[in-house]
A and B are shown apart, each in its own frame.
Chain A
Amino acid sequence: MKIRLAVASAAMSVALATGASSVAQAGVLDTVKQRGNVVCGVSGKVPGFSVPDAQGVWSGMDVDYCRAIAAAVFNDASKVTFRPVTTTERFTALQTGEIDVLARNTTWSFTRDANLGIEFVGANFYDGQGFMVSKQLGVKSAKELNGASICIQTGTTAEQNIADFFTANKLTFKQVVFESSDEAAKLYDTGRCDVYTTDTSGLAARRTTLSKPADHVILPEVISKEPLGPSVRAGDPQWANIAKWALFAQINAEELGVTQANVDEMRQSKNPDVRRLLGSDEALGNERWGLDRDWAYRIVKLVGNYGEVFERNVGTKTSLGLDRGINQLWTKGGLMYAPPVR
């Protein structure tokens, strides 16, 4: 979910004007190696994506993505500095080099790619806006929500999406806006409104906090495309490639059945795709790639494949309890597809 503030766009236009000068001269990879850690901009406030626990240990989808980069570069998944950035400052932080990679459940969109001097390297989670209603309403589809009052967090794309959806379906609604999602969910729970809407990942997380989670149902309609993905500063193809393939390696590993547990034996596999991914034979990347042939092996060994990361952070066994849904592999009917390593 992206928060749109006028200030943010002002900051972005300034960023754009000075963007040319802030393109790094020394490669990011060299800087990172010299510094000894990857600085990763995260949210710190999105359950399942990036949150520190009571001991200060970070976990989440975005966190594990950053760990994958650290594993590829340093053979040590802990060499990451997590820096919480807000929605308004996240792109500036990336442009100025304060952070090396932005993994902050940020929606990949045209204007961001085109205007900000940053480069999205893929989507590590396909999200979309959904609806939660009480079972008592007996509603089976969002199209039956005519005249409903909707609890919604203000200042997000969600407001626009709702208006678009209801207008397109010639329905009326009454929106009840709140500053924070905590507040919106709490008021929905007390019956202040009929519907609570946010990204489906957030809906699942919020449902666990309601007084009677079983009495609420998430409707099947997803009314917006929110491909959440990491991004890097434009102008450094080497670093962009590492960021891109850190994600692709995890997806490929899942597709090829390589897991954290079996990665060592899989290195001896007869399957040429697996051998190429794990660098069993010769290195495929030359010096412009910048990492040695074991890079993907280290990612899987130290962090795991995409499926493992998903299940660990947001999957059905966690308190968020998300199904893979469209985040399933393309071979199983989902959207997760990575170019081959060859």
Chain B
Amino acid sequence: MSTTFETPVLAPPKASRSPWRWARENLFFSAWGTLATLSLALLLAWALPPLVKWALLDAVWSGATREACLTPEGTVGGGACWVFVKVRFGQLMYGFYPLEQRWRVDAAALILALGLATVLPLRAATQRAAALAGVVIGGLGAGWLGGPVLGVVVALFLAGPLLLARDLSPLRRLPAAARVLLAVGLSALAAGVGGVAFGTPKAFGWVALVLAAGLFGWRFDSLRAAGLYLLGLVFPVLAQALLSGGAYGLPFVPTEQWGGLFLTLTIALTGMAASLPLGILLALGRRSALPVLRLTCIGFIEFIRGVPMITVLFLASVMLPLFLPEGVGVDKLLRALIGVALFSAAYMAEVVRGGLQALDPGQREAAESLGLGRVQTMGLVILPQALRVVIPGIVNTFIGLLKDTSLVAVIGLLDLIGIIKTATSDPNWLGFAAEGYTFVGLVFWVLCFSMARYSLRLERTLRNGVA
């Protein structure tokens, strides 16, 4: 028997960090490198100063009227007129959503952010804080809106599913069955109080949600599952009620008043939320052994991928109303939302299919040999691995979707692009289109870039097996 010695692992030698060395290694490493560096430097020296001069140095930041931006001779020109963006800022963010109602958009965004924080791979402490904040804010908000009864109902209702979470709940020592019973009991209590207080028809809805919560909790008892359940089933109903209004003393806001960044995000997020599950189903359907299912999925995917997005939107906005019977009007925004969701689902399906194909068949065989059923094999072994492989592809599709939403401007919806077009046509603000589009471009860049960065972080976390 031989003895093995472990040599101590040494830290790599510290690289010398002198700027000169850095430059030689990164900028002037070869003749071609030097040439590229020099030409890029020249390009920047040529392009950057006028840009900085226009966007920052000569720019007008203060004031409230067009006159603030005009040159002494009374003409348009000189530096950028950020006053224009400032004056229109509210509209760029919320569209024509009534000024005194805009807090509803903010509230929906806050709820969504808290919900996402419990679902996305973040630190456990962050997730717990977000969940707790969600229950408290949800209860207080509902209480403020609809009286203490509604407040209690909502808080109980939110707390129910969260109690199921093994990783969060103070009751985690209890067996799962007891927690599920408790959570369903809480939600049922909420449903009962809510039903009595607000009339029976709504109670049915509550009860359905409670049952769904119970089922969810039974199978996946983690905070993420609870958050997913709340986000996927409860949030859409809640957001719709909050944003459209017409009940609980909230004035009705028709969707033609929605606009700006709010509308862009509504379309993009709905598209993302719908396209991922739909895309997974389509991808599985496409690999199914059942010919009818397979051919239907292939037909759908190839048809959608064969036409431009603008055609789908145009069909939804112009053709569809003609085929519907008289008086059956489907909301224009809803039509666009469905169009966008179906469109991105087809692309998502192909991304997911790529992940499924990349997976070694041995994985499935191993899962089956362990006695896992078809659903379990898919849900516990195949999909988690396949989706992890294609995160860059999924995020790529999401980013593309976010940018594609600007196409809804061609069907008369005033998203961020539509609203800036409107704003630049104001007779009092003609001639400031460059500022408007620069600002909108910046907003899109920030959104897309943060998504890309998050995706990178996600990949790293998942590779390390932390989340």
Contacts and interface: CB of A to CB of B under 8 A. Distances in A.
A224 interface: no
A319 B329 CA distance: 39
A21 interface: yes
Contact of A46 (B76, B99, B317, B425): B425
Interface string B387-418: 00000000000000000000000111010001
B254 interface: yes
B428 A319 contact: yes
Contact of A318 (B323, B425, B427, B434): B427
A269 interface: no
A304 interface: no
Interface string B420-448: 01111111101101100000000000000
Interface residues of B, number: 41
A55 B88 CA distance: 8
A318 B418 CA distance: 25
A47 B412 contact: no
B318 A83 contact: no
Interface in A1-27: 7, 11, 14-15, 18, 21-22, 24-25
A234 interface: no
B28 interface: no
A41 B324 CA distance: 20
Given A54-B88, A210-B75, A11 B318 contact: yes
Contacts of B324: 96
Contact of A92 (B75, B88, B318): B318
Contacts of A333: none
B403 to A, nearest CB: 18
B33 interface: no
B178 interface: no
B332 to A, nearest CB: 8
Contacts of B327: 97
Nearest to B90: A54
A208 B70 CA distance: 11
Interface string A186-201: 1000000000000000
Q: Which of B73, B326, B427 has most chain A Cβ within 10 Å? A: B427
Interface string A78-101: 000101111011001101111000
B319 A45 contact: no
Given A15-B322, A51-B422, A56 B430 contact: no
Interface size class of A (residues with CB under 8 A): 35 or more
B91 A208 contact: no
Nearest to A47: B427
B359 interface: no
A51 B319 contact: no
B122 interface: no
A18 B418 CA distance: 30
A151 B156 CA distance: 65
Contact of B318 (A51, A89, A319, A320): A89
Main secondary structure, interface of B, reads helix
B430 A86 contact: no
A18 B321 CA distance: 11
A339 B305 CA distance: 55
A92 B318 CA distance: 6
B410 A47 contact: no
Nearest to A43: B425
Contacts of B414: 44, 84
Contact of A213 (B75, B314, B423, B424): B75
A44 B318 contact: no
Nearest to B428: A319
Contacts of B314: 7, 11, 88-89
A83 B427 contact: no
B49 interface: no
B280 to A, nearest CB: 33
A205 B96 contact: no
A331 interface: no
B40 interface: no
7 contacts: A15-B322, A44-B422, A47-B430, A54-B426, A84-B412, A208-B430, A319-B427
Given A45-B422, A53-B426, 15 more contacts: A7-B314, A44-B425, A51-B425, A52-B91, A53-B428, A81-B256, A86-B412, A92-B318, A92-B321, A93-B321, A96-B322, A186-B433, A205-B427, A208-B76, A211-B77
Interface of A: 7, 11, 14-15, 18, 21-22, 24-25, 44-48, 51-56, 81, 83-86, 88-89, 92-93, 95-98, 182, 186, 205-206, 208-213, 318-320
**9 tightest A-B CB contacts, nearest first:** A209-B431, A47-B427, A96-B321, A56-B96, A182-B433, A45-B425, A211-B77, A209-B430, A84-B412
